[in-house]
Amino acid sequence: MDKQLLLIIFLSSPLLGALIAGLSGRRIGDKASMAVTTGLLFLSCALAWNTFYQVTWGSWSERFTVELLPFINVGDFQSAWSIRVDTLSAVMGIVVTTVSALVHLYSWGYMSDDPDKPRFFAYLSLFTFAMLMLVNAADFMQLFFGWEGVGLASYLLIGFWFKKPTAGAAAIKAFVVNRVGDFGFALGIMTVFWMFHTIRFETLFPLIAAKAGTTWHFAAWNFSALDLAGFFLFIGAMGKSAQFFLHTWLPDAMEGPTPVSALIHAATMVTAGVYMVCLLSPLYEYAPNARGVIILIGAVTSLFAATVGMMQNDIKRVIAYSTCSQLGYMFFAAGVGAYQSAMFHLFTHAFFKALLFLGAGSVIHAMHHEQDMRKMGGLWKYIKITFVAMTIGNIAITGLGIPFVDWGFAGFYSKDSMLGVAFAAGATQPLGYFAWVVGVFVAGLTSYYSWRLAFFTFNGHARWGHDAHDAHGHDDHASHAQVETHGEPDAGHDDHGHGHGDHKPHESPWTMLVPLIVLSIGAIASGFAFVHYFVGSGQEAFWKGAIFTGANNHVLEQSEHLPVWVGLAPLTAAILGLLVAAYVYLWREGLGAKLAARGGPLYTFFYNKWYFDELYQVVFVNGAKALGDVFWKQGDQKTIDGLGPNGVSWLMGQFGKGLGRLQTGYIYTYAFVMLIGVAGLVTFALMAWVR
Amino acid sequence: MMPSNLLQIAAPELILAIGALALLVLGAFRGNRSTLLVSILAGLVLIGAAAAAAVAPLGPIFRGGFVSDEVSRFSKVAIYLMSSVALLLGERWLNRLRAGQFEYPVLILLAALGMGMMVSAGDLISLYIGVELQSLALYVLTAFRRDDGKASEAALKYFVLGALSSGILLYGASLIYGFAGSTRFVDIAHAVHTTAAPVVLIGLVFLACGLAFKVSAAPFHMWTPDVYEGAPTPVVAFIAAAPKLAAMVLFARALLEGFPDAIDQWRQVIMTIALISMAVGALAGLVQKNLKRLLAYSSILNIGYALMALSTGTQLGLQAMLVFMVLYMIDSTGAFATLAALSRDGKPMETVGDFAGLSQERPTLAIVLTVLSLSLLGLPPLSGFWGKFYVFKAALAAGQWQIAVFGLVASVPAAFYYLRIIKTMWFDAPAGRTDTPAPDAQAVAVAAGLWSLPLVLVGLAFLDPLAALAARAFGLS
């Protein structure tokens, strides 16, 4: 078949599914909507793999763009709906469609009790379409369209259970925080357009080198123009990828159904920021200061999120902070110039993080929508497949592997690669060393919280007996300082014929297990299968110029020749983290609870997420409210309304009353006014004429 | 020199004069039983006069004291027809109050005769005679319900202040005559053309003040609210319409024929009067609770617009003034007809509060009053909008954008009081049951409403060229 047609089918089938399920879901019924969306998604997924194969090893070796329709054409501002095909978009395409297809399938089981299935599947497909638009964009405008489209879908899905007030609040929070990022993103696009008079990547990228070093004078400073553009664009990436300062929405986004968390808030949408930075590598290569900011923010995010993740008790929140932390890794890798490593980790991370989320979903499903790990324990006997899958995911994320033989699960390769390049970059960019130190430390923390999650959930004593389960949901620890993710609605579970007290955790249906198994394979194999192509010696042939590397940028090659201890450090940290977790949660079970109960200052600080929500509440929310109050009461009501409409109408009323008072009813007053009028007019007339 | 067609030229006024006298005799002999007959005959006389005016030959007669031209023809037809509407409204209304008398139609005829004289006045003498004839008839009409204290008070005020204004007018006329040595406008224009001494201009200001009283322009408007409130509603409908047009045309003729070379001087006076009228009309109307007083201020405001058109001194301005006045007359008559149609327990409804919730009980009249209010407010595409459109266009064409802007601003507070009527009718709780509306008044109101919305769009196609033709009479640019 014609490749153009294939690409169009690839891109439009999720949209078609979304339209069918969204517009006529009620008419065609739940089953049909689910079947249509899932089927179309699998079709799209197959075509994505085909594209990837063709681009990498097949006949589509040249990068190309298929233009579909004009979008906005105003002067230099030319934008078209198009499909850009290169290795970058192909890699991202398989990530998006594979995870999305599996999540669709998984949702058959997970959402089986939900009354709004067509809406859910329509949203999922809509999200996938928007994400593919973003990924295959050939200019900034379509990129922005996709960017906002996934934001919309994310908003809709976080607030899917809109009857829960917390879900609505979380959806709004995600939307608002992303607006901040999007503002920066829009500024970045404008900066680029102002500088280059084009927003098409194809025409833009060759122009960049010539503008390197251009500065703008503004308010007594000289700004490097490209750094400024890069910085603004990165603000957009920070919002979408939940980086430090703009991360607050991601943990709250766990209010959405778990499949959504797996698809949007782990594997795809949140990585859009990383993808954009890699896509714009031709720009960032000439913007060293902007890259410095990226390294710094990335490293700090990874540290911050890991410290917070250690203390959380909600199974999904732990994974959410883990995602945030891993995204930080990707950013500092991109920041040091190893976009390939960032993309590699994005790729492997999508598999194991989706696996972890779906595994967590399976646990939650088994526990009848219980998310608090303190009410779990000893589950491995009941849900063995989930247990195995989650363990595989943990091994992958903590980067365990066998050194010297150079064999391990997915994370082992990608994380090593990222830390390696960071260290290698340290020679020229001191922030590289900083990132490396932080990265190794965080690898330990990652290992600790990941295994803590596993041991807490699957091993030890069951803490979900009669006593713990009397009050279903989370009402019984409402006294905690922190608002945790609120239980998912479990309509329908009571119909199963068993009360809450005496049920046993049960393994999930096959629709949920199949995705777990497929993703487990990905988590195991995506590392060693692709390391050669993504970051190894085959990378140049693989990327085919989709990622631009500056003339002085050799971090990837240098990372191959590092001292041995550099390569061993992350693994050592990971094993240490594993041992600590095992000590606290396996061998001395109950120690963790005791430590938490003691609540040292560090614990409180981490447990409360570094008090970011509180800080933002005080500074931005209350500040904005106070400012709004001032503008409203002083500015609008008193000044504008007071002097404007209300003041003028008052004044007019006064005039009217004054004139009314003149209307005494006495003839002599009237005559007097008339004579005054005559005298006044004569005077006025004479004065006017004499002049 | 006397043209041979003297009788034809003076035919409309002759018909009115003879008709009025004959009907007076008829009434005197037959008493009040003949009221209906007299009314019908008076209506026929008015229509006959209008027809005669429409076909009257052009030219000055009586040594230039009486002029027949396109302006006078246009205005006379309008004035006589509007007078017949007032006749229709008043006769039944007074009958319902058991105050019907055969003098009413006769007085209307005499007032119409005075107005005919005014629009045809070619010198200061006929100007004064026309004004006084019309005014005396109106004074009496105001006091038509002698047993009503308010009406009597209003009539007395009207009469005394009218006398004062006549004095002012006459004083101005004497100054002008003393300067020009002639009372004819043509001779005055000639004298002013030669030398424009301040004394004649002072006389002009006095003359303008006297006429401003007749059109109820501020600051000579003080009588208006009291008279409107006190006088019988159909009489107010009459006072508010035809005499205003007559006085405006007279105003225009005196200024444009008598002082064409002093245009820069009198323009400022007229503009000042227009500005004050608009301000007073817009602002004082805000605090009125009585609908008739409110409409009085509305008429002051609208006269401000008409004077704005006049102050341009151009042909376009004159045309705008004529169109505006005709459209305003219809709106105003319609509004007063609505008031005349409505009563509660036999008493007229006059305050704004009386109209609360009218839309539920009398939807037809509520719609009519809504349309007329919106029209007076100047909402497109209602007739009031077109009137203002002509005026503003003329003002802008003459380069007087400042006054046009002021006019626009003045219409903002005015919009408030028109909208308040609408709001009261449609959104307030009903104030109680009303009597069955009088069919005749309701018919007039509905006709005015229909004119205001759809018919004006067709009617303008005829009105526009007629007014343009009339405006050409003064030979302006």
Is residue B167 a part of any domain in this protein? no
- Provide the 10 A C-beta neighbour count for residue A216: 13
Place of tokens 């001032």: A630
Q: Chain B: nearest CA to A41, how far in angstroms?
A: 56
Q: Chain A: nearest CA to B218, how far in angstroms?
A: 8
Q: Quick check: A467 pLDDT over 50?
A: no
Q: Omega before B219 cis (within 30°)?
A: yes
For position A152, what pLDDT does the model report?
93
Pick from A671, A676, A684: CB nearest B272: A684
Identify the CA nearest to B307 among candidates B247, B264, B262, B222: B247
Q: Average pLDDT for residues A469-474, to the nearest whole number?
A: 41
CA angle A231, A237, A242 (to 5 degrees): 125
Is residue B357 a part of any domain in this protein? yes
Pick from B156, B219, B273: CB nearest A676: B219
Q: Quick check: A442 pLDDT over 90?
A: yes
- Provide the 10 A C-beta neighbour count for residue A309: 27
CB proximity B415 to A under 8 Å: no
Q: Quick check: A482 pLDDT over 80?
A: no
Mean pLDDT (chain B, rounded): 91
Residues B184 and B203: their CA atoms lie apart, in Å, by: 15
Please check whether residue B332 is in contact with residue B303, taking contact to mean a CB–CB distance below 8 angstroms. Answer: no
- Does the distance separating the beta carbons of A660 and B161 come in below 8 Å? no
Is residue B229 a part of any domain in this protein? no
For position A487, what pLDDT does the model report?
58
Q: Chain B: nearest CA to A638, how far in angstroms?
A: 21
Q: Tens digit of pLDDT for each residue in B105-133?
A: 999 999 999 999 999 999 999 999 999 99
Q: Tens digit of pLDDT for each residue in A43-72?
A: 999 999 999 999 888 888 788 888 888 888
- Does the distance separating the beta carbons of B269 and A685 come in below 8 Å? yes
Of all residues in chain B, the one with the smallest CA distance to A673 is B219
For position A495, what pLDDT does the model report?
39
Contacts of A242 (CB under 8 A, 6+ apart): A249, A250, A270, A301, A323, A324, A327
CB pairs under 8 A between A and B: 87
Is residue B465 a part of any domain in this protein? yes
Pull the structure tokens for residue A481. 């300082």
For position A445, what pLDDT does the model report?
93
User: B interface mutation test: which of A648, A654, A678, A690 has the most B CBs within 10 A?
Assistant: A678
Lowest mean pLDDT segment, chosen from A74-83, A409-418, A656-665, B148-157: A656-665
Identify the CA nearest to B200 among candidates B255, B279, B130, B160: B255
CB proximity A676 to B under 8 Å: yes
Is residue B474 a part of any domain in this protein? yes
Q: Tens digit of pLDDT for each residue in A234-264?
A: 999 999 998 988 888 888 888 889 999 888 8
CB proximity B407 to A under 8 Å: no
For position A653, what pLDDT does the model report?
81
Q: Average pLDDT for residues B215-234, to the nearest whole number?
A: 92
Pick from A656, A663, A680: CB nearest B286: A656
For position A597, what pLDDT does the model report?
78
Q: Quick check: A644 pLDDT over 80?
A: no
- Does the distance separating the beta carbons of B222 and A673 come in below 8 Å? yes
ipTM of the complex: 0.89
For position A104, what pLDDT does the model report?
93
> Which range is most confident: A534-538, A667-671, B328-332?
B328-332
Pick from B157, B208, B287: CB nearest A653: B287
Is residue B15 a part of any domain in this protein? no
pLDDT band of residue B140 (cuts 50, 70, 90) is very high
CB proximity B208 to A under 8 Å: yes
Of all residues in chain B, the one with the smallest CA distance to A670 is B222
Q: Tens digit of pLDDT for each residue in A132-145?
A: 999 999 999 999 99
Pick from A663, A684, A689: CB nearest B198: A689
DSSP string, B113-163: HHHHHHHHB-BHHHHHHHHHHHHHHHHHHHT-STT-HHHHHHHHHHHHHHH
For position A340, what pLDDT does the model report?
92
Q: Could you tell me the residue range of the domain that residue B417 belongs to?
A: 275-477
- Provide the 10 A C-beta neighbour count for residue A168: 15
Beta bridge partners of A405: none
Pick from B156, B226, B272: CB nearest A681: B272
DSSP string, A573-639: HHHHHHHHHHIIIIITTTHHHHHHHH--HHHHHHHTGGGHHHHHIIIIIIHHHHHHHIIIIIIIIII
Percent of chain B with pLDDT over 90: 68
For position A483, what pLDDT does the model report?
40
Pull the structure tokens for residue B425. 């009718």
Q: Quick check: A684 pLDDT over 80?
A: yes
- Per CB-CB distance under 8 Å, the chain B contacts of A669 are 222
Q: Characterise A74 by phi-psi region: left (phi > 0), alpha (psi -120 to 50), beta (else).
A: beta
φ, ψ at A139 (rounded to 5°): -150, 170
pLDDT band of residue B252 (cuts 50, 70, 90) is very high
Please check whether residue A421 is in contact with residue A556, taking contact to mean a CB–CB distance below 8 angstroms. Answer: yes
Please check whether residue A266 is in contact with residue A102, taking contact to mean a CB–CB distance below 8 angstroms. Answer: no
Q: Tens digit of pLDDT for each residue in B153-170?
A: 999 999 999 999 999 999
For position B419, what pLDDT does the model report?
92
CB proximity B220 to A under 8 Å: yes
Q: Tens digit of pLDDT for each residue in A593-615?
A: 777 777 778 788 888 878 888 88
CB proximity A665 to B under 8 Å: yes
Q: Chain A: nearest CA to B43, how far in angstroms?
A: 35
For position A479, what pLDDT does the model report?
34
Lowest mean pLDDT segment, chosen from A5-14, A216-225, A496-505, A643-652: A496-505
Contacts of A409 (CB under 8 A, 6+ apart): A352, A392, A395, A396, A399, A400, A401, A523, A524, A527
Q: Quick check: B22 pLDDT over 80?
A: yes
Pick from B226, B286, B413: CB nearest A665: B226
The alpha carbon of A404 is separated from its chain's Cα centroid by a whole number of angstroms, namely: 36
- Per CB-CB distance under 8 Å, the chain A contacts of B160 are 667, 671
DSSP state letter for A1 = -
Q: Quick check: A502 pLDDT over 70?
A: no
φ, ψ at A482 (rounded to 5°): -115, 140
User: B interface mutation test: which of A674, A675, A691 has the most B CBs within 10 A?
Assistant: A674
pLDDT band of residue A210 (cuts 50, 70, 90) is confident
- Does the distance separating the beta carbons of B205 and A656 come in below 8 Å? no
Q: Average pLDDT for residues A284-293, to the nearest whole number?
A: 90
Q: Quick check: A478 pLDDT over 80?
A: no
Residues A247 and A644: their CA atoms lie apart, in Å, by: 43
Q: Tens digit of pLDDT for each residue in B396-436?
A: 999 999 999 999 999 988 898 899 999 999 998 887 888 88
Q: Quick check: B150 pLDDT over 60?
A: yes
CB proximity B179 to A under 8 Å: no
- Per CB-CB distance under 8 Å, the chain B contacts of A687 are none
Residues B22 and A137: their CA atoms lie apart, in Å, by: 95
Q: Which H or E run includes A307?
A: helix A288-311
The alpha carbon of A491 is separated from its chain's Cα centroid by a whole number of angstroms, namely: 29
DSSP string, A323-362: HHHHHHHHHHHHHTT-HHHHHHHHHHHHHHHHHHHHHHHH
DSSP state letter for A500 = S
CB proximity B199 to A under 8 Å: no
Is residue B42 a part of any domain in this protein? no
Q: Quick check: B196 pLDDT over 80?
A: no
Mean pLDDT (chain A, rounded): 86
Is residue B219 a part of any domain in this protein? no
For position A488, what pLDDT does the model report?
61
The pTM for the full model equals 0.64
- Does the distance separating the beta carbons of B284 and A659 come in below 8 Å? yes
- Per CB-CB distance under 8 Å, the chain A contacts of B223 are 670
- Provide the residue type at A620 as one letter: F
CB proximity B5 to A under 8 Å: no
Q: Characterise A399 by phi-psi region: left (phi > 0), alpha (psi -120 to 50), beta (else).
A: left
Q: Quick check: A489 pLDDT over 70?
A: no
Pull the structure tokens for residue B214. 């007749």
For position A1, what pLDDT does the model report?
58
Identify the CA nearest to A376 among candidates A456, A473, A281, A268: A456
- Per CB-CB distance under 8 Å, the chain B contacts of A674 are 161, 164-165, 168, 209, 213, 219-220, 222
Beta bridge partners of A72: A79
In chain B, the number of structural domains is 1
CB proximity B268 to A under 8 Å: yes
φ, ψ at A223 (rounded to 5°): -100, 135
- Per CB-CB distance under 8 Å, the chain A contacts of B202 are 682, 685-686
Q: Quick check: B318 pLDDT over 80?
A: yes
- Per CB-CB distance under 8 Å, the chain B contacts of A649 are 413, 416
User: B interface mutation test: which of A664, A667, A684 has the most B CBs within 10 A?
Assistant: A667
Residues B376 and B382: their CA atoms lie apart, in Å, by: 9
Higher pLDDT, A468 or B326: B326
pLDDT band of residue A470 (cuts 50, 70, 90) is very low
Q: Average pLDDT for residues B463-474, to the nearest whole number?
A: 90
- Does the distance separating the beta carbons of A670 and B222 come in below 8 Å? yes
Residues B263 and A578: their CA atoms lie apart, in Å, by: 103
For position A271, what pLDDT does the model report?
92
Pick from A667, A684, A686: CB nearest B198: A686
Beta bridge partners of B343: B348
Place of tokens 């919280």: A449
Q: Tens digit of pLDDT for each residue in B390-400?
A: 999 999 999 99
CB proximity A667 to B under 8 Å: yes
- Provide the residue type at A617 as one letter: Q
